[in-house]
Amino acid sequence: MPELNDLLILMVVVWTAGKIFRSFHLPIVFGELVGGVIVGPALLGIVPADSEVIKVIAELGIFFLMLHSGLETNPEELLKASKKSIFVALGGVLLPFVGGYWAARFLVKP
């Protein structure tokens, strides 16, 4: 029975946070995520993460969140932004690699 209480608390907080974010013209999903983080073990710890029911619902939530964001993606905008995205991704990989190489060369003396 405690699992149902935790689930009820989680659903009420998530729904309320979504409504609050909607009133500020912010994405509802962002409000729901923030509500889950607040009552979860990261901040207040009201809803424990070790419950099997919560784990299954979290996995389903991740699935549906990714499905929803994939359905909202406009392929034309994705292709338009792909050039910039490739440069950002390469910079995120190459710059730390080169920086680490040169830091190791200067800090480690043979």
List pLDDT tens digits, range 12-31: 998 999 999 999 999 888 89
* Residues 65, 87 within the same domain: no
Q: How many domains does the chain have?
A: 2
**CB count, 10 Å around CB of 109?**
5
* Residues 64, 79 within the same domain: no
- CA dist 71 → 18, 60, 67, 75, 80 (Å): 20, 16, 6, 10, 17
* Residues 65, 89 within the same domain: no
* Residues 64, 92 within the same domain: no
* Residues 47, 15 within the same domain: yes
What crossing angle do the helices spanning 2-23 and 52-72 adopt, rounded to 10°?
A: 30
* Residues 31, 58 within the same domain: yes
**Structural contact between residues 39 and 33, judged by C-beta atoms closer than 8 angstroms:** no
Which residues form the domain of 19? 1-72
Predicted pLDDT at 7: 82
CA–CA gap between residue 80 and residue 85 (Å, rounded): 10
**Structural contact between residues 17 and 31, judged by C-beta atoms closer than 8 angstroms:** yes
CA–CA gap between residue 72 and residue 107 (Å, rounded): 48
* Residues 105, 54 within the same domain: no
* Residues 20, 8 within the same domain: yes
* Residues 62, 101 within the same domain: no
- What's the average model confidence in pLDDT over 72-85? 84
CA–CA gap between residue 88 and residue 3 (Å, rounded): 43
Q: What mean pLDDT, rounded, does the chain reach?
A: 87
* Residues 63, 101 within the same domain: no
Greater model confidence, 110 or 95:
95
Alpha-carbon 52 to chain mean position: 21
